[in-house]
Amino acid sequence: MTENMNDIPMREYKVGDTVTGRVTKIEDKQVYVSIPDSKADGIIPISELSPLHIEKPADVVQEGDELQLAVIKVEEDLLILSKRRIDAEKAWAELREKFEKGEAVEGEIKDIVKGGLVVDLGVRGFVPASQVEDHYVEDFSGYVGRTLPFKIIELDKEKNRLILSHREVVLEEKLKQKKERLESLKAGDIVTGTVRRITDFGVFVDIGGIDGLIHISQLSHQHVEHPSEVVSVNDEIRVKVLSVDPEKEKISLSLKETTPGPWENISEKFSAGSVVEGTVKRIVSFGAFVELIPGVEGLVHISQISNKHIGTPREVLSEGDKVKVKILKVDEENKRISLSIREAEEKVEETEYEIPQESKGFQIGEILGDKLKEIQ
C-alpha cells in the first residue's frame, strides 16, 4: 500500500492505496468524504463502512470524522473508498497477536444468529451457543448490546473466520477464584455456603466457587439415616472448615460444629434430684444407658436399677423401655449424667403416700384406715 498520498493528483491514485478523508455528508446508503490537499473526493458505500450489517451510516460515522480509508475503485472524478477494509487489517493484526499470546479480547455482541452470537471486533466474530456460558442458556436476547471478554479459539484471516468463546473466560476465572479460595481457607474457619448436591454419604456445599464435603457424621449431633433429613438442595448454611487439602482440592466441612450441641447448658435442663422419663438405649454388664433427650444419655449403674439384687441389667430392662429416672449428678464438662431408676421409684412412692398438709394432726389410722383394711 502507498502511504501519505493526499497530495497526489487524481490520476495517480490506484486501487489499494490508503488515504485520509474527512466526512462531509451522510446519506442513507453512502458517505461523502473530502481528501485534504488533493483534488480527489470520495464515496464510502454503506457496505464498506463496517464488517457487520448496519441499518444506516450514521450508526458508524459522523460529519467531520477523519477516517483512514482504502481505495477500492478509481473513477474519472471520484474515489470509491472502504473504511471496513482498513479497520479489518488493523483488527486482524491485533487479534492475531492476542490469539498467539492467549489473551482475551473484548467486544460488543451485535446480533443473534442461528447457532450463536455475532460480535464486533473490527471484524465479524462468531460465538457458538455452546461457548457463551459454562451452563445452558435458553434465551440469548439479553446478550445483545453487552460487551464481554472472549478467548479466540479459531482464527483464519483468509477464510474470514473468527470463532470466540466467553465460556473459556468464565472457566478460567472460576479456576483462578478456586485456587485463591483454597489458599485462603484454613481449618477452624466458619463460612457460609449453599447446598449443591446430596448423596447417601454426605452433602456437597459451594463455599465461594469451590465445593466442600460434609460427611453424614458431621451433619447433626443426633444420628442421621440420610442427609436429606437435615438439609435440602439450595439451602444456605453456616459450616466449619475441618481440613483443607489444596493439592487434592478437598475440603472437609461440618454443620454439626456450628450448631449448639445437646450437652450445651445441660445442667440447666436437668438438675440433680429431679425425676424425668427416658428411653433405655444400651444395656451393658455394669448398667444401662438411658436417653433423656436426643443426643444425651445418662448411665444407670447396675446398683441403681432395682431395690432387689440382680445379676445383670437384662433381668429387668430391655432396649426401648420407657423408664423413670432420678438425676443423681450432672457433669456437663465431661458429658456425663448419673441416673437411678431405684431412687426414682422410691421418690414416686413417697409422693403417692405423702400426707396432705390439711391432714396434719389426725391419727395415722384415720388417714390410712382403708389401706390398712385392704392389707388385713
Q: Cβ(195)–Cβ(205) under 8 Å?
A: yes
Residue 356's pLDDT is: 52
Residue 362's pLDDT is: 44
Residue 208's pLDDT is: 85
Residue 365's pLDDT is: 47
Please give the CATH number for the structural domain made up of 102-170: 2.40.50.140
Residue 352's pLDDT is: 54
Grid cell locating 191: 463460612
Residue 351's pLDDT is: 55
Residue 312's pLDDT is: 94
pLDDT digits (tens, 9 = 90+) for 56-97: 999 889 999 999 999 999 887 789 999 989 988 899 999 999
Angle (CA) 154 157 160, round 5°: 85
- pTM for the whole structure: 0.56
Query: Between the CA of residue 84 and those of 46, 53, 69, what are the distances in Å?
Result: 10, 11, 8
CA gap 347, 273 in Å, rounded: 10
Within 13 Å of residue 367, how many CA atoms lie on the same side as its CB? 12
53-87 burial, b if ≥16 CB within 10 A, otherwise e? eeeebeebbeeeeebebbbbebeeeebbbbbbbbb
User: Are 102-170 and 185-258 the same fold in CATH?
Assistant: yes
CA gap 302, 86 in Å, rounded: 98
Residue 374's pLDDT is: 46
How many CB atoms sit inside 10 A of residue 147's CB?
A: 10
pLDDT digits (tens, 9 = 90+) for 200-259: 999 999 998 899 999 999 999 888 899 999 999 999 999 999 999 988 889 999 999 998
- DSSP states along 110-150: EEEETTEEEEESSSEEEEEGGGT-SS--S--GGGTT-EEEE
How many CB atoms sit inside 10 A of residue 131's CB?
A: 21
Q: Assign domain 266-352 to its CATH architecture.
A: Beta Barrel (2.40)
Q: Cβ(51)–Cβ(124) under 8 Å?
A: yes
Query: Between the CA of residue 32 and those of 29, 45, 57, 67, what are the distances in Å?
Result: 10, 9, 11, 11
Q: Assign domain 10-86 to its CATH architecture.
A: Beta Barrel (2.40)
The residues of the chain scoring below 50 in pLDDT are 1-7, 355, 358-369, 371-376
Chain centroid, CA 165 distance in Å? 23
Q: Cβ(193)–Cβ(207) under 8 Å?
A: yes
Residue for cell digits 451485535? 110
Domain positions in the chain are: 10-86, 102-170, 185-258, 266-352
- DSSP states along 272-307: TT-EEEEEEEEEETTEEEEEEETTEEEEEEGGGT-S
Give the bridge partners for 191, in sequence order. 239
CA gap 45, 57 in Å, rounded: 9
Q: Which CATH superfamily is domain 185-258 in?
A: Nucleic acid-binding proteins (2.40.50.140)
